[in-house]
Structure formats: C-alpha cells, structure tokens
Amino acid sequence: MFSGSIYFINKGTIDINEHQYSENRSVNLPISIGIVKETSDNENRVALVPDDAKKLVAKKMEVLVQSGAGSSAGFLDAEYVSAGCKILGESKDVISIANLIIMLGRPDAQDLSKFKPKSTVVGQIYPLRFQTLVRDLARADLTVYSLELLPRTTRAQSMDVLSSQSAVAGYRAAIIGAYNSPRLMPMLTTAAGTVKPANVLVIGAGVAGLMAIATAKRLGALVTAYDVRKAAGNDVRSLGAKFLEVGFNAEGAGGYARELTEDEKNKEKEMLETAIISSDLLITTAGVPGKKAPMIVSAETISKMKVGSVIVDIMAESGGNCELTQRGKIIDHNGVKIIGSINPQSEVPINSSQMYSRNVSSFLSILVGQDGNFVEPEKDELLAACMICNGGKVTFPPMVNEGEGK
Ligand code: NAD
C-alpha cells in the first residue's frame, strides 16, 4: 500500500529515497499523474495547471510534479503544493513513479527506460513525423495517446488541443507580425497627416488563420485571406475580411484540406502573387493533416515584395509555407523580413497552458472511469482514435499497415 510519505520542497532539495512506494500502492491510488518540465526548444508551457490539478486531486488522483515544471508559464511549485500536488526534484523521479504521464509534447527517447512499463503517456506525439520514437514507445511497453489525433467531433471539442493551441498561435502570429512591421497597422488621421492602414494577407483560414485575421482586424489592418477550402470563405467574411476565391474547392476528408494537384498549385500561385506582393504583412498558416506544410509562397514571389514587408510563417515547424522560411529564425531577404515562427503559442504560456490543461482534464474524464481506473481503449471511440501504442505494439493504423513497429 502507499506508504503515505509526503514529498516536500526544501530549499530546492528533495530526498526521494526517504519516500519509498511499495508495489501495491495502486490498490489505494490507481492513478498517479506525473507532470514533467517540457524539454523541447523554447517550450514555456506546462501540461497541467494548478487549478486543474486540484480538481484531479479532489477525485482521489495523485499528482506528482517535477520541481519548476510550471515556472516558465508562471505556475510556481508552491501553487501546485497548495493544490495538493507533490513536488519531486527531477523528471526521472516523476516518470519512474507515476503511471500516467501528461505532456505537451513527447518523451525523450533516452528517458524511456526510466518509465514504468505499462504506464500511460498522454501528449502530442505526431507519430508520422517521429516514427522511430513511436516504435521505441511501444518497445518500452507504454500505452500512448496522441491528442492531436482526436477527431474534430462535437464530443471531442473540449479536448481539442489542436484548436486551443492553434487559436493562440494565430493570435500571436498577428502580434509578432505587427511588432516586427515598420508600419502601423491601423489607419490614423492626425494633424501630421493620414496614415493608410496596413494590408495584411492571411494564407490558410483554419483555426489559426481565423484568429490571425480577427487579431489583425482588431489592430486596424485591412485584411484579406485565402484558403483552398471554399467553406472557409464564409468564416473569413464573417470576420469582416476579404476572401480570395481560387476557383476550385480542395476540401478533403473530415472537412480538412487535401493536397493540391500540380495544376491547382499553379493556379493558386498565379492568383496569389498580386495579393502577396501588395501585402505589408503576410501570415501563413496553411496545413494538410499528416503532411509536410504545403509550399505556397516561392522565393521568386518574395523577391517581388516591397521593402519593409514582413512574413510570419507559423508552419515553420512542419517545413513552412514559404520557400525561404528557416525554422526558428528571422531572416532578411532584400528588405523583406521572414519569421520562421515555431511554437508561437509557447510565447503566451499562461493562457496556452491553461487551455491545454483544460483539454487534458476533459480527456481524462474519458480515460479514467468512475471507479478511478483506466478505461480500456477499445471501450471508447475517442481513446481508440488517438491511441498509438498499447501492449508493446504500435497501434497507429498508418504505421501498422506499413508492417512497422511490431
Ligand atoms: P490545418 O491546421 O490542417 O490547416 C489550416 C488551414 O490551411 C486549413 O483551413 C486548410 O484548408 C488550409 N490549407 C491547406 N492547404 C492550403 C493551401 N495550399 N492554400 C491555402 N490554404 C490551405 O487545419 P485546422 O485549422 O486545424 O482545421 C481546419 C478544419 O477543421 C476546418 O474545416 C475546421 O472547420 C475544422 N475544425 C473543426 C472543429 C470541430 O468541428 N470541432 C474544430 C476545429 C477545426
């Protein structure tokens, strides 16, 4: 049974050896949640915030938090302690004890041997991009749920991490663009003359794009947007922006965009060039699920943009929508600033952590049953849809079908 030991923070030192858990502790506390400090570049967010941790503790779950896990997002250890969590010194202390590790991203391959076999991991793994890691997760005998694979259904809406984080990313993209632009965004009529509003073009009007449009509008810019899905036109117009029609509709399965044919790509390039050249700020957010970001803005087109124009490409992580985008870098190309923004949501870590944490809490309401035990993945369609490893095997259909990961 659980020894009842209390973890403590004392001038930053924690003696975990004093507090041994016996093998049978799960009889009393079946779910022991672990929150670690995220390790990927420039990551400030934390997967669970104290307010939500408190609710899980109230449901008789144990929450173990690595010291400092939330500090970059403004959530200090003391707040987790007040919420009833236990603070441990290092990530290895957390992952070797907890049986449900909740992350924003994915575990580091070198840490997998420290996880308890048969533990559950919840994060955003992007299995097609990290296939070797997925096989290693299966070999480590972990059950892994990758939240970005949840279907965009009404039931899954409260768990939709893609929407919550993309909304923040879109907002931030507009702010980054305005901040880096040598122009004002709004029209100003002053005694010193009239300033014209900036022209903002947003490519990709999904969740992030719509938030970028709304934010640029609030800043006073003249906003135009484009998407290959015709249905996006109504959303764009409802925000008071102009929608560019390309003359075909590339809506594919599940309401997402499909990849364009070569002919469609040429039409798109032709139609967009004038709009890109006349924009002061270009924000690119176009994605096709499971694929590299489509390359939409060529180096040749960028060369025709005005000096002082700014491009914010928030698809830099998955290859970028612009040919000259460099992941995580700001470059200058003949006076055009190209910002290869990665993880813009991490620059607003308080709210993006709160939103992710709420999504995760909602996911836990289906992962953990009324009896306080894990629900079998096959008993819930949402669990089954986002599970990528279980029972020592890769269960993610595209990889299994390739005969990999066994
Ligand atoms: P995403 O991040 O995959 O893509 C962003 C946008 O880029 C999409 O609107 C897509 O159409 C567009 N795009 C792709 N290729 C393009 C190209 N070559 N040129 C221009 N634009 C291109 O998508 P997302 O923002 O995560 O979601 C988009 C879809 O999901 C929409 O249909 C949205 O309504 C739907 N959705 C539904 C729910 C829900 O019902 N719960 C929640 C969120 C999103």
pLDDT at 400: 84
Ligand 1 contact, 235 CB (< 6 A): no
CA of 236 to the centre of ligand 1 (A): 12
Among 46, 57, 121, which residue's Cα sits nearest to residue 85? 57
pLDDT at 402: 65
CA of 205 to the centre of ligand 1 (A): 7
pLDDT at 29: 58
Catalytic entry in 163, 341, 353, 354: 163
Nearest residue (CA) to ligand 1, atom 40: 152
Ligand 1 contact, 287 CB (< 6 A): yes
For a ligand 1 pocket test, name from 148, 150, 158, 207 the mutation site with the most ligand atoms within 8 angstroms of its C-beta: 207
So what CATH class is 168-347? alpha beta
- Strand order of the β-sheet with 393-394 is 86-88, 62-66, 32-35, 100-102, 120-123, 143-146, 387-390, 393-394
pLDDT at 405: 39
Whether 20 sits among the annotated catalytic residues: the reply is no
pLDDT at 259: 87
Whether 163 sits among the annotated catalytic residues: the reply is yes
Task: State the DSSP code for 10.
Answer: B
**DSSP 3-state of 200:** strand
Ligand 1 contact, 161 CB (< 6 A): no
CA of 142 to the centre of ligand 1 (A): 31
pLDDT at 309: 98
pLDDT at 255: 76
Q: What is the rounded distance in angstroms from the CA atom of residue 127 to the CA atom of residue 36?
A: 21
pLDDT at 341: 95
CATH label, 6-149+348-393, candidates 3.40.50.720, 3.40.630.30, 3.40.50.1100, 3.30.499.10 = 3.40.50.720
Catalytic entry in 26, 139, 141, 256: 256
Catalytic entry in 26, 51, 152, 258: 152
Element counts in the chain: helices (H) and strands (E): 12, 17
For a ligand 1 pocket test, name from 129, 228, 284 the mutation site with the most ligand atoms within 8 angstroms of its C-beta: 228
* pLDDT, tens only, 331-382: 999 999 999 999 999 999 999 999 999 999 999 999 999 899 999 999 999 9
Regions in the chain scoring below 50 on pLDDT? 1-27, 404-406
Ligand 1 contact, 352 CB (< 6 A): no
pLDDT at 281: 98
Same fold, 6-149+348-393 and 168-347: yes
Whether 152 sits among the annotated catalytic residues: the reply is yes
Catalytic entry in 160, 227, 235, 280: 160
For a ligand 1 pocket test, name from 265, 272, 288 the mutation site with the most ligand atoms within 8 angstroms of its C-beta: 288
Q: Enter the pTM of the model.
A: 0.90
Q: What are phi and psi of 115, to 5 degrees?
A: -70, 150
Domain ranges of the chain: 6-149+348-393, 168-347
Assigned token pair, 223: 């906003």
